[in-house]
């Protein structure tokens, strides 16, 4: 029997599975009785033996994990596919846990929203009618029951210094819901294998799980094809990949790269390194005093030598949401390529790479409730296929002789060696979680929290908010007169409140505001107004030196 997997383009060509299955299925593959249970005498079919027990789709032409994975059947928000009776499926359990989100009554549980007498931000101007009892515009669904969401995250039950943990360090990394943790355990307990090149059952399960995760990412950011999704370690690796493959191949001495003043070091250093190596020029879009990029200044930087614009969609240090669509189309107008750093965007706002029309988009799994060590590079398919591979090795090749190597098309050509299979699957589960709650609902809820927190923080004397752009997401950076930022962070930790204090790997933008570091509480969907109240109360204590 051939062990060739028959892959032609980096995603599984399930014809070989079909052929194998046909050898062993005398009846149609959809017939549950034809699905083998574990049987060492029979080679793997590619259909998980546990699938029928879980009410799973048993169609071999729809590769899937052993867990119901209906996302990629037709791209719709899944309905439960669990069988009747027996243990509720993964999908059903999640659905049950989240049902209450849809039924929560606005205004009944969210705390009082203070009076916004002196609006400094557009979202405090009353435009969103936050004073009208429920804190959300009428066309938005009710906010969810955040306590139920919080309960999905086991670590949030931890006690820190005798208090409940309040996790406000989400821009650094997010916590993981139980279903992500369980999904990874399930992978290692039932599916673990290297992927692609084997005819045995576990290789088929692991390959299905991995490729399904890719499909989930595709749907999550609305890429045109799963071939546009490359799994990498994270945003940093994705940017380095583009710099060292496309950048190294395409850019010539004198070519110009534009970044914004807001960038994380991950979107500065790889370009600086490339510029030093190849004699390129790095230009920087300035920001205004609120921390928003100046589009007119950006326009002045664009010229015939501009080959690449690489910028963040949401600033990790200030929370600024940049006008990404405008930045992309202005760059395209002069023929430059565009990379969007979505590390801080994906957990807060809907991402649509086709609408954005960027050439590359990067994000990290751990910032969107998935595991560390897994991330995504989206690239337009044609562009990926015309770009030289970054690393060489197994998996990324079609054919190797001692004379030459023929590479796989994307995404395989950029996934040399054994990747982080289990965590890709975990990222798929995290995307399921976010999708089930609804990214727009999360966005609205967090907006409410940001308004609530901003208003309370502004009232603390001596506290300077840094980053006051009209369009912000998730981040509240500040300094407190008379206190070092690390001192504030350490005191907050004493009360179980986790925030980051430091330069946030974004030194240029902090220096733009005359500081070397800030205290940075950052929000996620499981934070509550009482988390903010605890933060504010602690800050008053620190300011008044009441420890």
Should residue 468 be labelled a site residue for ligand PLP when binding is judged by CB under 6 A? no
Q: Does 477 bind ligand PLP (CB under 6 A)?
A: no
What are the beta bridge partners of residue 306?
256
What tokens appear for 352 in the block?
Answer: 């649509």
Q: Which of residues 34 and 236 has its CB atom nearest to ligand PLP in the complex?
A: 236
Q: Which one, 34 or 315, has the nearer CB to ligand PLP?
A: 315
Site string for ligand PLP, 182-221 (x = CB under 6 A): ----------------------------------------
Residue 343 binds ligand PLP, judged by CB under 6 A: yes
State which of residues 56, 174, 364, 501 lies at the interface with ligand PLP (CB under 6 A).
364
Cα-to-chain-centroid distance, residue 212: 16
Taking CB under 6 A as the criterion, the residue among 5, 9, 236, 245 binding ligand PLP is 236
Interactions with ligand PLP, residue window 313-332 (CB under 6 A): 316
- Encoded one letter per residue, x for contact with ligand PLP by CB under 6 A and - for no contact, window 376-405 reads ------------------------------
DSSP 247: I
- H or E segment to which residue 284 belongs: strand 281-285
Using rule CB under 6 A, residue 264 touches ligand PLP: yes
240 binds ligand PLP (CB under 6 A): no
Residue 510, token pair as written in the block? 């902090």
Among 502, 512, 447, 529, smallest CA distance to 169 is for 502
Counting contacts by CB under 6 A, is residue 373 touching ligand PLP? Answer: no
Least separation in angstroms between residue 416's CB and ligand PLP is 19
- Dihedral, CA atoms, 211, 212, 216, 219, nearest 10 degrees? 80
**Nearest CB to ligand PLP, comparing residues 206 and 274:** 274
R_g of the chain, CA atoms, integer Å? 25
Query: Which residue of 91, 341, 359, 444 would you call a contact of ligand PLP, by CB under 6 A?
Result: 341
Identify the residue among 207, 235, 455, 479 touching ligand PLP (CB under 6 A): 235
Residues 416 and 407 sit within 8 Å (Cβ to Cβ): no
Of 331 and 343, which has the nearer Cβ to ligand PLP? 343
Which helix (H) or strand (E) element contains residue 464?
A: strand 463-466
Q: Is 129 left (phi over 0), alpha (psi -120 to 50) or beta?
A: left
Residue 344 interacts with ligand PLP (CB under 6 A)?
A: yes
How many beta carbons lie within 10 A of that of residue 182, not counting itself?
A: 17
Nearest to 372 by CA among 331, 316, 424, 323: 424
Q: 505 catalytic, yes or no?
A: yes
Q: How is residue 178 written in tokens?
A: 């139980």
Strand 256-260 and strand 518-520: the pairing is: unpaired
**Candidate segments 181-189, 231-239, 286-294, 350-358, binder of ligand PLP by CB under 6 A:** 231-239
Among 234, 291, 319, 467, binds ligand PLP (CB under 6 A): 234
Q: How far apart are CA 18 and CA 37, in angstroms?
A: 17
Q: Which of 505, 508, 513, 543 is catalytic?
A: 505
Helix (H, G, I), strand (E, B) or coil at 533: helix
Q: Which of residues 20, 149, 229, 266 is near ligand PLP by CB under 6 A?
A: 266
Cα distances (angstroms) measured from residue 389 to each of 50, 196, 409, 413: 38, 19, 10, 6
Binding region for ligand PLP (CB under 6 A)? 234-236, 264, 266-267, 312, 316, 341, 343-344, 364
Residues serving a catalytic function are 505
């Amino acid at each position: 029997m051939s062990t060739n997997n028959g892959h032609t383009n980096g995603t599984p060509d399930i014809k070989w599975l079909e052929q194998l299955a046909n050898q062993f299925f005398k009846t149609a593959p959809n017939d549950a009785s034809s699905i083998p249970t574990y049987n060492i005498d029979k080679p793997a079919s590619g259909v998980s033996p546990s699938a029928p027990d879980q009410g799973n789709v048993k169609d071999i032409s729809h590769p899937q994990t052993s867990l119901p994975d209906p996302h990629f059947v037709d791209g719709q928000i899944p309905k439960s596919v669990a069988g009747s009776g027996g243990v509720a499926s993964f999908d059903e359990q999640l659905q049950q846990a989240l049902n209450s989100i849809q039924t929560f009554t606005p205004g009944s549980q969210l705390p009082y929203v203070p009076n916004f007498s002196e609006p400094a931000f557009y979202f405090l101007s009353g435009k969103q009618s936050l004073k009208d009892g429920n804190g959300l515009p009428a066309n938005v669904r009710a906010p969810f029951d955040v306590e139920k969401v919080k309960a999905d995250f086991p670590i949030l039950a931890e006690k820190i210094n005798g208090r409940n943990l309040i996790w406000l360090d989400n821009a650094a990394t997010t916590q993981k819901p139980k279903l992500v943790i369980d999904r990874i355990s399930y992978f290692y307990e039932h599916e673990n294998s290297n992927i692609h090149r084997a005819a045995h059952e576990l290789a088929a399960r692991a390959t299905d799980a991995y490729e399904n995760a890719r499909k989930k990412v595709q749907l999550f950011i609305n890429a045109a094809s799963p071939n546009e999704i490359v799994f990498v370690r994270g945003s940093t690796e994705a940017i380095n990949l583009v710099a060292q493959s496309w950048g190294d191949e395409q850019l010539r001495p004198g070519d110009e790269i534009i970044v914004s003043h807001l960038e994380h070091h991950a979107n500065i250093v790889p370009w600086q390194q490339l510029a030093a190596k190849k004699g390129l020029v790095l230009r920087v879009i300035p920001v205004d005093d609120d921390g928003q990029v100046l589009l007119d200044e950006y326009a002045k930087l664009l010229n015939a030598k501009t080959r690449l614009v690489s910028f963040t969609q949401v600033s990790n240090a200030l929370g600024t949401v940049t006008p990404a669509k405008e930045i992309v189309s202005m760059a395209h107008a002069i023929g430059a390529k565009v990379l969007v750093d979505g590390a801080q965007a994906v957990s807060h706002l809907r991402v649509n790479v086709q609408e954005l029309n960027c050439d590359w988009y990067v994000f990290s799994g751990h910032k969107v409730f998935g595991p560390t060590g897994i991330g995504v590079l989206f690239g337009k398919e044609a562009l990926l296929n015309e770009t030289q591979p970054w690393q060489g090795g197994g998996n990324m090749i079609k054919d190797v002789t001692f004379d030459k190597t023929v590479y796989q098309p994307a995404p395989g050509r950029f996934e040399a060696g054994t990747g982080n299979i289990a965590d890709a699957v975990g990222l798929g589960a995290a995307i399921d979680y976010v999708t089930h709650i609804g990214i727009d609902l999360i966005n609205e809820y967090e907006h409410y929290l940001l308004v609530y927190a901003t208003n309370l923080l502004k009232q603390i004397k001596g506290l300077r908010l840094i980053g006051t752009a009209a369009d912000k997401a998730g981040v509240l950076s500040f300094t407190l007169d008379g206190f070092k930022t690390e001192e504030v962070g350490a005191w907050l930790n004493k009360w179980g409140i986790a925030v980051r204090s430091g330069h946030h790997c974004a030194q240029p933008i902090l220096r733009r505001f005359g500081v070397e570091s800030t205290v940075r509480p950052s929000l996620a969907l499981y934070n509550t107004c009482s988390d903010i109240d605890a933060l504010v109360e602690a800050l008053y204590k620190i300011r008044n030196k009441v420890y």
